[in-house]
């Protein structure tokens, strides 16, 4: 092991994440936390208007799903991942970590600004919103790794988001009940996405399971 390899772990962690941010693009990652800041300011300015409360709780998951589709859809030539040290599943995880961080930033912004005006309840913001965001992130991930289509993933994300507003919100109003449904959906699609990513890598290596 040479000196670069010995020191690589300590010196390359930050550059790796900077590289991933560049690959994703700030124009893709920034909208989610930026939306959180804008919504939080609006909640304070308009004294927690009901429509803004709804937007605060629902727009972050939608943005998270669309950002996931855009981030993962940027990888057009998956076979190139076989020529580098980092496997494709690890790249997917890194991109999703960045999306998750942007969601946390949005929730924190809405919470910090919205709670100051007593505009947003803690339960929906800290439970159902992150859970639904996780579900849409998982849905987008599966569609992208299965079809390679960012546009298709975006369309399905919007469909699931609309179904939640028009159906689930009408028949199940409990915060924890909705969160349980969202987490279950997230787990199912995350598992399917993980299986698909592994299978795609095996196919690229011409390995038959």
CA distance 143 to 106: 24
CA angle 32, 33, 38 (to 5 degrees): 100
Q: Where are the domains of the chain?
A: 3-204
% of the chain with per-residue pLDDT over 90: 19
Across the chain, mean pLDDT equals 74
Summarize pLDDT for 143-159 with one digit per residue, the tens. Answer: 988 887 888 999 999 99
Q: Give the predicted TM-score (pTM) of the model.
A: 0.75
- Of 188, 92, 98, 187, nearest in space to 145 by CA: 92
- Chain centre to alpha carbon of residue 94: 11
What's the pLDDT score for residue 184? 96
Summarize pLDDT for 34-58 with one digit per residue, the tens. Answer: 666 666 666 666 655 555 566 667 8
């Amino acid at each position: 092991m040479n000196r670069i390899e010995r020191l690589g772990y300590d010196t390359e962690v930050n550059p790796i994440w900077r590289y991933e941010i560049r690959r994703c693009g700030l124009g893709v990652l920034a909208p989610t936390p930026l939306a959180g800041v804008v919504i939080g300011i609006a909640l304070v300015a308009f004294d927690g208007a009901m429509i803004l409360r709804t937007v605060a709780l629902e727009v972050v998951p939608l943005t998270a799903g669309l950002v996931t589709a855009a981030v993962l859809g940027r990888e057009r030539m998956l076979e190139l991942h076989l020529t580098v040290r980092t496997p494709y599943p690890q790249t997917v995880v890194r991109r999703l970590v960045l999306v998750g961080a942007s969601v946390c930033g949005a929730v924190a912004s809405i919470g910090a600004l919205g709670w100051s005006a007593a505009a947003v309840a803690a339960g929906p913001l800290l439970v159902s919103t992150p859970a639904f965001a996780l579900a849409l992130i998982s849905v987008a991930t599966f569609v992208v790794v299965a079809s390679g289509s960012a546009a298709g993933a975006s369309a399905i994300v919007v469909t699931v988001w609309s179904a939640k507003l028009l159906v689930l919100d009408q028949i199940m109003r409990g915060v924890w009940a909705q969160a349980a449904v969202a987490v279950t959906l997230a787990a199912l699609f995350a598992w399917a996405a993980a299986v698909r990513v592994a299978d795609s890598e095996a196919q690229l290596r011409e390995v038959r399971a």
